Structure 1
C-alpha cells in the first residue's frame, strides 16, 4: 500500500487480470480514455488499484437486472 494515499499501484498485467482482459486491451482502453490514466513513475507505468476497483464497481452498478 502507498503510505501516503493508502492506494496500491499495480502493473499492466495485474490491471489486465483485474479487468479480465488482455494486456493489449488494457493499453487500447487506456489510449481511448476508457479506463483511468496510468501513473508513470521512474520508467514504469502503473495503475491505481483503487481506481480500477472503482471502475469495476461502477460497471456493476450499471448492469441491467435480468
Structure 2
C-alpha cells in the first residue's frame, strides 16, 4: 500500500514553518526550502519536504 504525501500550498507551507508568505518565497529562492512541484499553474510542496526543512533546522541548533 502506498502512503499519500499531502501537498501544501505556499500559504500552508509558510504557516507550517511559521513565516510570512514573502519570507517563505525568499527561502525558496535561496534554497532553504525546496522548489515546488508544479501541477499545471499550481505550486505545491509535499508535506514531507516541509517537515524535512524543519528537521534540518533542528539539526543545525547548537546543543
**Alignment pair present for 1:59 and 2:57:** yes
Task: Measure the CA separation in 2 of the matches of 1:38 and 1:4.
Answer: 22
TM-score (norm 1): 0.82
In structure 1, list runs of 5 or more residues that go unmatched: none
TM-score (norm 2): 0.85
Relative contact order higher in (CA < 8 Å, ≥ 6 apart): 2
Task: Measure the CA separation in 2 of the matches of 1:32 and 1:55.
Answer: 13
How many residue pairs align between the two structures? 63
Task: Measure the CA separation in 2 of the matches of 1:4 and 1:37.
Answer: 24
Write out the 4+ residue segments of structure 1 that deviate beyond 6 Å after TM superposition: none
- Measured on the aligned residues, the alpha-carbon RMSD in Å equals 1.7
Distance 1:4 1:46, change over 3 A: farther
